[in-house]
Amino acid sequence: MRWGMVIDLSKCMRCHACIAACRVEHFLPLGMTWPRLIAWEEVPEEYTTYPVRCNHCKEPPCVKVCPTGASQQREDGIVWVDQKKCVGCRYCVIACPYQNRTFLSKDKDSGYFPGYELTNFEKAGKKLYPHTVGTTEKCNFCMERIDAGLAKGLKPGVDRDATPACVNTCPARALAFGDLDDPNSEVRKLIRDKKGFQLHPEYDTEPSIYYIDDGRRGE
Amino acid sequence: MALRQWMVTHEWMVKPTRQTEWIDRRGLVFLAAEVFTALGAGLYLVSLLFNNWWGMLVSWIIVMFLKIPLHLIYFGKPWRFWRTIIPFTKTWNTSWLARGVNFNIYFGTVVFFQLVVAYIATNFFPGTVWGTLSFILGIIGGIFALLVGLYGGFMMSYCRSVPFWNTALLPLILLFASVADGFALFMAVGLAGGNVNTAAAETGTQWILIINALMIVAYLWNATYTSKTSKYSAMLLLRGSLAPSFWIGVVGFAIVIPLVISVSSLYIGEAITLLLITAVVLHTIGAVALKYVVLKAGVHNPICPTTTSSYH
């Protein structure tokens, strides 16, 4: 079993809902963003966008360079950071070819309204999903949801309670989640039928995030 | 217009993007630690070559009381540093940082005993087994000094996303630069009364600076055709925002001026103290400049599959 995601670029409507969902799900500090929507001007006034997040590589360089073993890979392929072990050396931040790791410095956790009291949302976040200043963070494929869902007998990618928040939230259904090792899973079918591709395969990291693009963007 | 503003804020990693973690803001502490790595390891190797106890002592102090504390200060969670030490870490087989931390510890331990044994051998029991023991510990200390001088380069060259660093030349360049720094500091030890053979040190300096210069030329030449991003990094050094630091700091201060002073001393006959001090100070500034430009020119490849026109 290896969890993976397929992002359909032709369906993505750049609404940022996935980013907002992640922020709410994990009570992310203001300066921290796990998924991102990157954009650039291919030709004047015409933008190309890619939703990006940790690729949960099969051969993750971030895990190999971590001096403490805080960056780990689970048997289901999810790459995560044990914040209790992270020493904050930032080697993984530099070694990640996709730059999808962020070091949580004090200024990134200064509150949504610096100088004012924390909002109730932030106070709840400090209790429910504490973030440790001085360590590195990244997308964890909502592994808590996956684990809780699996414990209830649910199927990630099919049942909402076992599926990452960003996938559930996407109004255009541009994101699909499932088992890359299962030839009958939706993600595997999408990759096969629509010629899914990964970012920078030349790094030999084998990302678990695939993109599909049938050239009908914006239609 | 609104669309443009909305988009521009997300123009992230779509062009070659400079790494900031190891050079900006708190990253300057990392830079300082790397400079002291080069000075400490290089000075030990040179002092070992010339069997100079004072030089070895100074190098040990640099590594133990400047380099290691600075690295610890740089960590986001310094009190967890023990997690990087064998047997508390199992990642030393893949992580150059874990290896480096352990090389430093072994270096510090072995050289401490070597200094004690060498002192006893020289002052109390000359020509006895103490001298042999000091020699053996010196060899082991030298191996660890070599590894301390090398691991930073390997740490950087492991990063495939930074093509400028991702070359086997980088660890060697940093090691040879470290030895050159060692020669400069070694002469400083001599100026401070450390019983140094200045003439021999100057000959060594000349050779190591020439090798250094050739390696830097090869490194930059190689970078210009390895990939677009590495060429971009090389151009930052040669013509871009890092050109003043590179040409004045690295080429001028670290290589050309010390080399000219060193060669001129051949004709003058005896090294002039003022010129030696100038060479040592300028070379040390150049050592800082070399680490600075290499770290600052560490540029990540864009992550998007197609690249922007501005990148081309």
Q: Considering the domain boundaries, does residue B2 fall inside one?
A: no
CA distances from B202 to A157, A181, B43, B59, B254 (A): 69, 63, 14, 19, 14
CB-CB under 8 Å, B76 with A89: yes
pLDDT category, A1, cuts 50, 70, 90?
Answer: very high
Evaluate whether B118 touches B135 at the Cβ level (below 8 Å): no
Quick: pLDDT tens for A158-169.
999 999 999 999
Q: Considering the domain boundaries, does residue B136 fall inside one?
A: yes
Evaluate whether A219 touches A11 at the Cβ level (below 8 Å): no
Evaluate whether A100 touches A50 at the Cβ level (below 8 Å): no
Of B89, B94, B303, the CB nearest to A199: B303
Residue A129: alpha-carbon gap to chain centroid? 16
CATH number of the domain to which B216 belongs: 1.20.1630.10
pLDDT at residue B308 in the model: 44
Comparison of pLDDT for B303 and B156, the residue scoring more: B156
Residue B46: alpha-carbon gap to chain centroid? 14
CA distances from A81 to A12, A138, B249, B286 (A): 28, 8, 39, 38
Q: What is the mean pLDDT of residues B71-85?
A: 95
Tell me the residue range of the domain where B219 lies: 11-300
CA dist., res. B290 & res. B292, Å (int): 5
pLDDT at residue B306 in the model: 54
B189 pLDDT above the threshold of 70: yes
Give contacts of A 196-215 with B, CB under 8 A: 197, 199-200, 203
B220 pLDDT above the threshold of 50: yes
CA dist., res. A121 & res. A118, Å (int): 8
Evaluate whether A60 touches A79 at the Cβ level (below 8 Å): yes
Specify the pairing of strand A3-8 against strand A209-212.
parallel
Q: What is the mean pLDDT of residues A18-37?
A: 92
Mean pLDDT for all residues in chain A:
92
Nearest to A50 by CA among B16, B305, B229: B305
Percentage of chain B lying above the pLDDT 90 cut: 78
Give me the residues paired with residue A6 across strands: A176, A210
Question: Nearest C-alpha of chain B: how many angstroms from A142?
Answer: 23
Of A41, A88, A94, the CB nearest to B77: A88
How many CB atoms neighbour CB A109 within 10 A?
A: 18
Chain B residues within 8 A of A66 when measuring between CB atoms: 91, 95
Chain B residues within 8 A of A12 when measuring between CB atoms: none
Question: Domains of chain A (ranges plus CATH)?
Answer: 3-212 (3.30.70.20)
CB-CB under 8 Å, A66 with B91: yes
Of A67, A95, A203, the CB nearest to B84: A67
Q: Considering the domain boundaries, does residue B173 fall inside one?
A: yes
CA dist., res. A196 & res. A63, Å (int): 25
Peptide bond preceding B87 in cis form (omega within 30 of 0): yes
B186 pLDDT above the threshold of 70: yes
Q: Which of B68, B95, B99, B166 to mutate to test the interface with A (most CBs of A within 10 A)?
A: B95
Question: Nearest C-alpha of chain A: how many angstroms from B232?
Answer: 17
Question: Nearest C-alpha of chain B: how many angstroms from A120?
Answer: 27
What's the token pair of residue B275? 């010129």
Chain A residues within 8 A of B76 when measuring between CB atoms: 86-90, 103-105, 133-136
CA dist., res. A38 & res. B9, Å (int): 9
| Three-state helix/strand/coil letters over B173-211 | HHHHHHHHHHHHHHHHHHHCCCCCCHHHHHHHHHHHHHH
Q: What is the DSSP letter of B93?
A: G
Element (H, E) at A42: strand A36-43
pLDDT category, B1, cuts 50, 70, 90?
Answer: very low
Question: How many residues does this entry show for chain A?
Answer: 219
Nearest to B160 by CA among B19, B31, B37, B272: B19
Element (H, E) at B284: helix B273-296
A194 pLDDT above the threshold of 70: yes
Question: Nearest C-alpha of chain B: how many angstroms from A137?
Answer: 12
Helices B129-157, B27-49: crossing angle, 10 deg rounding: 140
pLDDT at residue A108 in the model: 86
- Kindly state whether A16 is in contact with chain B, defined as any CB-CB distance less than 8 angstroms: no
* Of the listed ranges A97-111, A140-154, B150-164, B256-270, the one predicted with least confidence: B256-270
Comparison of pLDDT for B13 and A82, the residue scoring more: A82
Q: Which of B1, B4, B9, B10 to mutate to test the interface with A (most CBs of A within 10 A)?
A: B10
- Kindly state whether A97 is in contact with chain B, defined as any CB-CB distance less than 8 angstroms: yes
A5 pLDDT above the threshold of 90: yes
B112 pLDDT above the threshold of 70: yes
A217 pLDDT above the threshold of 50: yes
The number of folded domains in chain B is 1
pLDDT at residue B197 in the model: 83
Give me the residues paired with residue A51 across strands: A37
pLDDT at residue A143 in the model: 97
Q: Considering the domain boundaries, does residue B149 fall inside one?
A: yes
Question: Nearest C-alpha of chain B: how many angstroms from A67?
Answer: 4
pLDDT at residue B310 in the model: 44
Output the pTM of the full model.
Answer: 0.92
pLDDT category, A173, cuts 50, 70, 90?
Answer: very high
pLDDT category, B24, cuts 50, 70, 90?
Answer: very high
Nearest CA in chain B to A35: B10
Q: Considering the domain boundaries, does residue B310 fall inside one?
A: no
